[in-house]
Amino acid sequence: MQKAAFFVLAVLVGASVAVPADNPPGEALEWKAGVASAMITPDRPLQMAGYAGRKEPAEGTEQDLFAKALALQDGQGHRLVIITTDLIGIIDRLRDDVARRVEEQYKLSPSALLMNASHTHCGPAYGRDDAKDYFDRLADTLVALVGQALDRLAPASLSYSYARCGFAMNRRTPTDSGYQNHPNPAGPVDHTVPVLRVGGADGQLRAVVFGYACHNTTMGFRKWLGDYAGYAQEYFEHDHPGVTAMFMMGCGADQNPYPRSQLEYAQRHGRSLATAVEAALEVGQKTPRHQRPLRGPLRSVLESVDLEFTEADRPNYAYPVQLVRFGNDLCIIALAHEVVVDYSLRLKCELAKPDGPTIWVAGYSNVYSGYIPSRRVLLEGGYEASSRPWKPTLEELIVGKVHELFDRLDSAP
């Protein structure tokens, strides 16, 4: 694929496509939405993130990398911006820089800025000293995207739906020598594909945000690639001209795409995921029956909880937890670092009620470093458990914080 220069391309939530409308013509819309997109493919060779064994820099581009921003505003003026990126993660320096500048320039609170990374292992190691020029341009681009998305706020309708996709498989296999990184068809998974639908004033599709809980590690070669998530976005946008597709990574720390290690598998997985998004949207159905219209108010909160290490002289770690709530219809829980699937399964089980909001749990949000195992995974051992010397209390602390923030938003006027 031919690679263009690093630049920002902003688009208003644009052309219409034939998918079910959320609002009858002429009905007043509560929401406003705007989208912006930027290509963030490095324009020179850089070291790659994700696999320590790759000592040489990238040797080319298989697929361009993108960052995208969706700005939302409810009828009371409350705003939210979601940034998605084809990157290994959002390192703390990037989050701090972007959040500070966005608050200064656009008066958007850090609690109303959700940053997520697809965790592609074929993106740049942009936190290195020798990548400072890329880091600076990346930060500038993300800040500009927020401004462009906010500038393009226009009447919109929002709805939530979901489907399923089956290529993710648990990668923790028990053996006589401990848990090994190997596909385990009996291990826990979350095959849900949550989809946020953004329609325009005419009710037609303008943008989608969709998630999946699986590592973007189909490939590990030395070329820039968004992996299956990159292909899913590319295919959906190709099939629906004028629509912006955004991928938000789920709790996929212990999930891998299978089969893998061949480019055609990344493409097949991407096609499967894009098709699942269409299924969630009920494309081709004359009467949609599973779209949950979202109403306001829009509320968001971002706080931290102190996690403890087993090393006595190591200070506690302030772990960020963010919740975004769309009235009583949808709550997005954004967890930092590489979170195993147990958190998604548990939180959806504990918080989802017939008379309450649907629960969407995203990992790899706002800050990225090591793994966040559950208590089960930590005690079992294995790769995901060895990243940091966490105390087994970490799961209860994180889940407890989520419950605290959820209850606070639930009781807010």
For 234-253, the pLDDT digits (tens) are: 999 999 999 999 999 999 99
- Rg of the chain, C-alpha, whole Å: 20
Question: What DSSP element (H or E) covers 274?
Answer: helix 263-280
**What is residue 130's predicted lDDT score, i.e. its pLDDT?**
96
What kind and span of H or E run contains 135? Answer: helix 132-151
Give the pLDDT score at 387: 87
- Predicted confidence at residue 274, as pLDDT, reads 98
* Cα four-point dihedral sign 352, 198, 162, 274: negative
Range name among 14-23, 212-221, 279-288, 360-369 with the lowest pLDDT average:
14-23
The confidence band for 229, taking pLDDT boundaries of 50, 70 and 90, is very high
Q: Say what the pLDDT of residue 237 is.
A: 98
CA distance 378 to 355: 34
pLDDT at residue 5 above 50?
Answer: no
Distance separating alpha carbons of residues 210 and 76, to the nearest angstrom:
26
d(CA 56, CA 69): 31
Half-sphere exposure of residue 219, counting CA atoms within 13 Å on the CB side?
A: 27
CA dist 220 and 198 (Å) reads 33
Burial 156-173 (b: 16+ CB within 10 A, else e): bbbbbbbbebebbbbbbb
Residue 64 has pLDDT above 70, yes or no: yes
Q: Which amino acid does the sequence have at 331?
A: C
Dihedral sign, Cα of residue 42, residue 48, residue 54, residue 55: positive
Q: How confident is the model at residue 21 (pLDDT cuts 50, 70, 90)?
A: low
Report the 10 Å Cβ neighbour count for 56: 9
Residue 138 pLDDT grade (very low, low, confident, very high; cuts 50, 70, 90) = very high
Kindly write down the DSSP assignment for every residue of 297-357, as one continuous string: -EEEEEEEEEEPBSSTTSPPEEEEEEEEEETTTEEEEEE-SEE-HHHHHHHHHHH--TTS-
- Enter the tokens of residue 323: 């919740």
Q: Are 217 and 183 in contact (CB under 8 A)?
A: no
Query: Per mean pLDDT, which range of 118-122, 187-191, 333-337, 351-355 is the poorest?
Result: 351-355
Tell me what pLDDT residue 13 has: 38
Per-residue pLDDT reduced to its tens digit, 87-104: 999 999 999 999 999 999
**Lowest mean per-residue pLDDT among 8-17, 260-269, 398-407:** 8-17
Coil, helix or strand for 273? helix
Residue 280 pLDDT more than 50? yes
pLDDT at 190 over 60: yes
Convert the pLDDT of each residue in 287-342 to its tens digit.
Answer: 999 999 999 999 999 999 999 999 999 999 999 999 999 999 999 999 999 999 99
The percent of residues in the chain predicted with pLDDT above 70, rounded, is: 93
**What's the mean pLDDT in 192-218?**
97
Mean pLDDT of the chain: 93
Strand partners, 257: 168
Buried b (16+ CB within 10 A) or exposed e, 244-263: bbbbbbbbbbbbbbbebeeb
Q: Which helix H or strand E contains 405, and what residues bound it?
A: helix 394-411
Task: Please name the amino acid found at residue 391.
Answer: K
3-state helix, strand, coil in the chain (%, to 5): 25, 30, 40
Q: What is the pLDDT of residue 339?
A: 98
Question: Average of pLDDT values for 36-57?
Answer: 95
Residue 1 clears pLDDT 50, i.e. is over it: no
Label residue 20 by pLDDT band (50, 70, 90).
low
Judged against a pLDDT cut of 90, whether residue 52 lies above it is answered with: no
